[in-house]
């Protein structure tokens, strides 16, 4: 059994200002997306110029933060946040929803597509391979904060949140691996060759939905929500499962259109 290292969530204490690891993980996420996007923008016949990448990432960052926070409140914690509304802005304490962030990014990309006169799905195909490394960073932030633990387990790599507590699956690290590194490898390799419009977006939805739904079997459901049904269905699965047929549908549609 392993013990969580209990890392101080504050990376740098400057007195009146405290810089949290969670915030640094978001900074790393946006920086990695900008870097990867800039690499793709340098290729011949790239969809966007290197100068446009900064605007693209700015739009995406606003969508992630606003959508992620609102999504968490709506999907997971509406009653508690209404009792103490100021905590809505305490993003350093966690409380961000991937699914809300995804919806926020899609709205942001719609606005960016209109601004640049670019087809919406061309924009999403471009940005989806830039997302997984950011997801990886976010899950590492969850691990540092000691939140979103997995279910009690006796596997050799099970980890106790602190000494004296039962060992659990380090599900944050499972998600960092699958939704982060593995998904990044799939999308980056797949998108290196020309693909029909919507195909890359479909691959993202399909594999994220599969990976997240799988990891939810090892992750402890939110304490204030519990299982939604059948003693195994979690809110994460309820929100992720529709992504699987949605991704398949986009892939089928993409390749059918390309055959015409």
Three-class DSSP category at 19: strand
- 177-189 burial: b if 16+ Cβ within 10 Å, else e: ebbbeebbebbee
- Euclidean distance between CA atoms 136 and 110, whole angstroms: 25
- Asked if 170 and 98 touch (Cβ cutoff 8 Å), the reply is no
> What confidence score (pLDDT) does residue 116 get?
93
> What confidence score (pLDDT) does residue 199 get?
97
Alpha-carbon distance values, 124 to 35, 218, 251 (Å): 17, 30, 14
> What confidence score (pLDDT) does residue 232 get?
86
pLDDT (tens digit per residue) in 116-139: 999 999 999 999 999 999 999 999
> What confidence score (pLDDT) does residue 17 get?
86
Range of the domain at 89: 2-259
pLDDT-flagged residues of the chain (< 50): none
Alpha-carbon distance values, 135 to 94, 162, 183, 208, 249 (Å): 14, 25, 10, 11, 24
Task: For residue 46, give the DSSP letter.
Answer: -
> What confidence score (pLDDT) does residue 77 get?
74
Nearest residue to 97 (alpha-carbon basis) of 76, 124, 127, 128? 76
Beta bridge partners of 13: 18
**Tally of structural domains, the chain:** 1
What's the predicted TM-score (pTM) here? Answer: 0.90
> What confidence score (pLDDT) does residue 60 get?
94
């Amino acid at each position: 059994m392993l013990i969580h290292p209990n890392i101080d969530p504050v990376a740098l204490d400057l007195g009146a200002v405290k810089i949290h690891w969670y915030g640094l993980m978001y900074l790393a996420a946006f920086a990695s997306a900008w870097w990867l996007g800039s690499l793709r923008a340098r290729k011949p016949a790239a969809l966007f110029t290197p100068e446009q990448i900064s605007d693209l990432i700015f739009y995406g960052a606003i969508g992630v933060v606003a959508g992620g926070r609102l999504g968490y409140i709506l999907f997971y914690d509406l009653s508690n946040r209404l009792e103490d509304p100021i905590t809505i802005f305490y993003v350093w304490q966690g409380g961000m929803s991937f699914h809300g962030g995804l919806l926020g990014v899609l709205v942001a990309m719609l606005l960016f597509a209109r601004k640049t006169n670019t087809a919406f799905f061309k924009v999403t195909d471009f940005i989806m391979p830039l997302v997984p490394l950011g997801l990886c960073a976010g899950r590492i932030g969850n691990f540092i904060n000691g939140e979103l633990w997995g279910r009690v387990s006796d596997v050799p790599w099970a980890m106790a949140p602190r000494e004296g507590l039962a060992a659990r699956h380090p599900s944050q690290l499972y998600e960092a691996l699958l939704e982060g590194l593995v998904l990044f490898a799939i999308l980056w390799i797949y998108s290196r060759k020309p693909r029909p419009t919507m195909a890359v977006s479909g691959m993202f939805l399909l594999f994220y939905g599969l990976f997240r739904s799988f990891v939810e079997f090892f992750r402890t459901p939110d304490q204030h929500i519990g299982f939604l049904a059948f003693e195994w269905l979690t809110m994460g699965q309820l929100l992720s499962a529709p992504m699987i047929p949605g991704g398949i549908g986009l892939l089928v549609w993409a390749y059918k259109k390309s055959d015409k």
